[in-house]
């Protein structure tokens, strides 16, 4: 059974720790049930389910650390994996950044689990796919999509008495719908913890409208334009910026938050090495994470078991908090700022962040625009300069020219060169945030967005 109850997980981890002979030992137990269905050219092509539980044991002797993994849980196997981690620890060199494991923590409850998602059946997946395929066929369009739902748990226990446990569910759906001649393309994505909120027919209707409306796109000269970025068009750029806010990167001069001396100036030895506390963005920019948020919840602890609460990273344009490791926090005399566990370690996975916005819908933003470009989505994004966070990428799946508050005609896709730092200083208006890729992101109306060249892709 991939999803263990809290008591089942506690019993298994207690048995594993009973075999430890190390100075310190910490065990991470994680499991998931995952189901999926994929379709292409209006036909289901694959479907499947995956179920697994894995135990990771970390043992340490002084500053020597070893880790071993197993997915068999009888006593002999548990003792074997603990001994293996101890063998590896004795062979390892000292870790100069070693930090002792944490003691007991107190956690808040977070709304990450929904029975509706954990109990999805293959028949339901087929119905979700059919609600996307049938309207595409009826409109002589071609649909390709993917639905995946996951139920998971994570439990952490160590020899200092820490025990953490959380369960979570998530459903992700994405669809691309194209005209039969390949000249029009639309796209939509939805993700929720509660699958009962998912309406693949409604999401596909958005993609159908984009596909039929983007056929026979006209060329426009590249340059700087007022743009309206749908949440899917900005979420990766802003997510990349948040992922580059680490205190150590900044202190070591490797990020856009590094404090640098002006030309001819030398920073005092005790001067701050990062830009925390500076106003770097439009005052309407506030970004935070909150494990208890009802729309984008997460585990209430980090990958090391540290309790995590609401953290404001940017407040009214001011950089307030930088994430760090326990080692770097101790070295610099700063508070330890962990991030929620997201499936791949303390800094792994998609961090579920929230960017505050306004009350207007995407349609309201379009109606209030005299001339501009509507961007459905961006992709193939690559970093050009880590110091300025300059990125390049392409628009796709529906780019449109706006005039006098209306979408006038589809336009060819662009390559863009832009930095989220510049974007968040060129805000004209923010709409109501919607969930995309696990985060809440508002549609944005921005001035002077840089399109550098045209792209023939649809």
- Please indicate, yes or no, if residue 161 is contained in any of the structural domains: yes
Terminal CA-to-CA distance of the chain, rounded, Å?
Answer: 44
Domain limit, last residue, from 213, 242, 274: 213
**What's the pLDDT at 343?**
67
Q: Is 225 found in the same domain as 94?
A: no
Q: Roughly what angle, to the nearest 10 degrees, separates helices 75-91 and 6-18?
A: 60
What number is the average pLDDT over the span 19-44?
97
pLDDT-based confidence at residue 350 (cuts at 50, 70, 90): confident
* Contacts of the segment 359-363: beta carbons below 8 A, 24+ positions apart: 359/431, 359/432, 360/429, 360/431, 360/432, 361/431, 361/432, 361/443, 362/228, 362/230, 362/431, 362/443
Residues 252-268: what's their mean pLDDT? Answer: 85
How many domains does the chain contain in total? Answer: 2
Shared domain check, 155 and 230 = no
Give the per-residue pLDDT at 263: 77
Q: pTM of this prediction?
A: 0.94
Neighbours of 20 (CB within 10 A): 20
* Contacts for 195 with CB less than 8 Å, ≥ 6 apart: 114, 116, 117, 120, 149, 169, 171
Q: What is the pLDDT of residues 110-163, one digit of tens each?
A: 999 999 999 999 999 999 999 999 999 999 999 999 999 999 999 999 999 999
Q: Which residues pair with 143 in a beta bridge?
A: 177
With respect to residue 187, please indicate whether it lies within any of the assigned structural domains.
Answer: yes
Question: What whole-number distance in Å separates Cα of residue 412 and Cα of residue 399?
Answer: 7
Do residues 176 and 305 both lie within one domain? no
Whether 109 is covered by a domain: the verdict is: yes
224 and 204 fall within a common domain: no
pLDDT of residue 344: 53
Say yes or no: 130 and 259 in one domain: no
pLDDT at residue 345, as a whole number? 41
Q: Are 272 and 131 in contact (CB under 8 A)?
A: no
Q: State whether 187 and 241 are in the same domain.
A: no
* Phi-psi label, residue 39: left if phi above 0, alpha if psi -120 to 50, beta otherwise: beta
Q: Are 148 and 250 part of one and the same domain?
A: no
Which pLDDT belongs to residue 389? Answer: 95
Chain mean pLDDT for the chain: 95
Which of 213, 233, 266 marks a domain boundary?
213
Taking each helix axis from N to C end, the angle separating 122-138 and 200-213, rounded to the nearest 10 degrees, works out to 30
pLDDT value at residue 102:
98
Strand partners, 449: 225
Per-residue pLDDT at 348 exceeds 60: no
Share of the chain above pLDDT 70, in %: 98
Structure tokens at 198: 């998912």
| Judgement on whether residues 101 and 54 belong to the same structural domain of the protein | yes
pLDDT at 265 over 80: no
Q: What secondary structure letter does DSSP report for 197?
A: G
Tokens linked to 239: 């997510």
3-state secondary structure of 353: strand
**Mode of pairing for the β-strands spanning 223-229 and 371-385:** parallel
What is the pLDDT, as a whole number, of residue 1? 59
Q: Which residues pair with 382 in a beta bridge?
A: 392
Residue 1 inside a domain? The answer is no
In this structure, what DSSP letter does residue 301 have?
B
Residue 349's pLDDT band (boundaries 50, 70, 90)?
low
Report pLDDT for 346. 37
**Residue 429 CB: number of other CB atoms within 10 A?**
18
Same domain (yes/no): 191, 243: no
Contact in structure between 28 and 154 (CB atoms under 8 Å): yes
By residue range, what is the domain housing residue 28? 6-213
Which residue, 213, 241, 263, sits at the end of a domain?
213
Q: Are strands 371-385 and 353-355 parallel, antiparallel or unpaired?
A: unpaired
Q: Which tens digits make up the pLDDT trace of 34-77?
A: 999 999 999 999 999 999 999 999 999 999 999 999 999 999 99
CB atoms within 10 A of CB 260: 11
Q: Average pLDDT for residues 294-304, to the nearest whole number?
A: 94
Query: Tens digits of per-residue pLDDT, 89-105?
Result: 999 999 999 999 999 99
Query: Which CATH number is 98's domain given?
Result: 3.30.2290.10
Instruction: Determine the average pLDDT of the residues in 216-228.
Output: 96
Average pLDDT (225-251) is: 95
| Sequence-ordered list of residues with C-beta below 8 angstroms from that of 267, at least 6 positions apart, any chain | 259, 261, 273
Residue linked to tokens 């840089």: 450
Beta bridge partners, 429, equal: 445
Provide the edge-to-edge strand list for the sheet that holds 353-355.
Answer: 318-319, 311-315, 287-289, 353-355, 439-441, 434-436
Domain identity same for 237 and 366: yes
The whole-angstrom separation of Cα 428 and Cα 369 is: 10
The tens digit of pLDDT for each residue in 367-382 reads 999 999 999 999 999 9
Task: Decide: 365 and 445 in contact? Cβ < 8 Å.
Answer: yes
Q: Are residues 226 and 303 in the same domain?
A: yes
| Same domain? 183 vs 234 | no
- Tell me whether residue 402 is in a domain: yes
Centre a 10 Å sphere on the Cβ of residue 221 and count the other Cβ atoms it contains. Answer: 7
The CA distance from 190 to 202, in Å, is 10
Q: Has residue 241 got a pLDDT over 80?
A: yes
How high is the pLDDT of residue 296? 96
């Amino acid at each position: 059974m991939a999803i263990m109850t809290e008591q089942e997980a506690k019993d298994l981890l207690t048995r594993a720790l009973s075999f430890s002979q190390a100075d310190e030992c910490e065990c991470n137990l994680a499991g998931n049930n995952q189901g999926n269905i994929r379709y292409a050219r209006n036909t289901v092509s694959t479907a499947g389910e995956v179920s697994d539980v894995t135990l990771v044991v970390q043992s340490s002797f002084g500053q020597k650390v070893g880790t071993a993994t197993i997915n068999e849980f009888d006593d002999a196997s548990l003792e074997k994996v603990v001994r293996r981690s101890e063998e590896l620890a004795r062979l390892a060199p000292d870790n100069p950044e070693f930090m002792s494991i944490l003691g007991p923590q107190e956690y808040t409850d977070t709304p990450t689990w929904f029975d509706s998602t954990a109990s999805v059946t293959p028949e339901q997946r087929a119905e979700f796919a059919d609600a996307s395929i049938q309207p595409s066929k009826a409109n002589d369009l071609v649909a390709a999509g993917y639905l995946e739902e996951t139920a998971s748990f994570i439990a952490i226990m160590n020899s200092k008495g820490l025990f953490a446990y959380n369960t979570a569910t998530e459903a992700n759906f994405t669809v691309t719908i194209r005209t039969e001649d390949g000249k029009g393309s639309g796209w939509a994505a939805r993700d929720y913890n509660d699958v009962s909120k998912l309406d693949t027919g409604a999401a596909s209707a958005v993609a159908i409208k984009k596909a039929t409306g983007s056929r026979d796109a006209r060329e426009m000269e590249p340059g700087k334009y007022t743009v309206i970025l749908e949440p899917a068009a900005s979420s990766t750029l802003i997510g990349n910026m948040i992922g580059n806010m680490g205190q150590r990167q900044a202190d070591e001069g490797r990020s856009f938050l590094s404090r640098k001396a002006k030309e001819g100036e030398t920073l005092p030895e005790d001067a701050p090495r990062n830009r925390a506390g500076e106003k770097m963005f439009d005052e309407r920019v506030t970004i935070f994470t909150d494990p208890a948020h009802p729309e984008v919840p997460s585990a209430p602890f980090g990958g090391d078991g540290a309790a995590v609460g609401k953290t404001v990273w940017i407040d009214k344009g001011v950089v307030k908090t930088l994430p760090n490791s326990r080692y770097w926090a101790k070295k610099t005399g700063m508070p330890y700022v962990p991030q929620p566990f997201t499936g791949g370690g303390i800094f792994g996975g998609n961090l579920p962040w929230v960017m505050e916005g306004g009350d207007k819908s995407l349609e309201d933003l379009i109606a209030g625009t005299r001339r501009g470009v509507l961007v459905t989505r961006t992709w193939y994004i690559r970093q050009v300069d880590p110091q300025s966070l300059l990125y390049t990428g392409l628009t796709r799946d529906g780019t449109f020219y706006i005039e006098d508050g209306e979408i006038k005609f589809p336009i060819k896709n662009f390559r863009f060169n832009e930095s989220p730092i510049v974007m968040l200083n060129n805000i004209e208006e923010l709409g109501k945030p919607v969930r995309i890729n696990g985060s809440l992101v508002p549609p944005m109306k921005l001035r002077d967005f840089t399109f550098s060249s045209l792209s023939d892709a649809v």
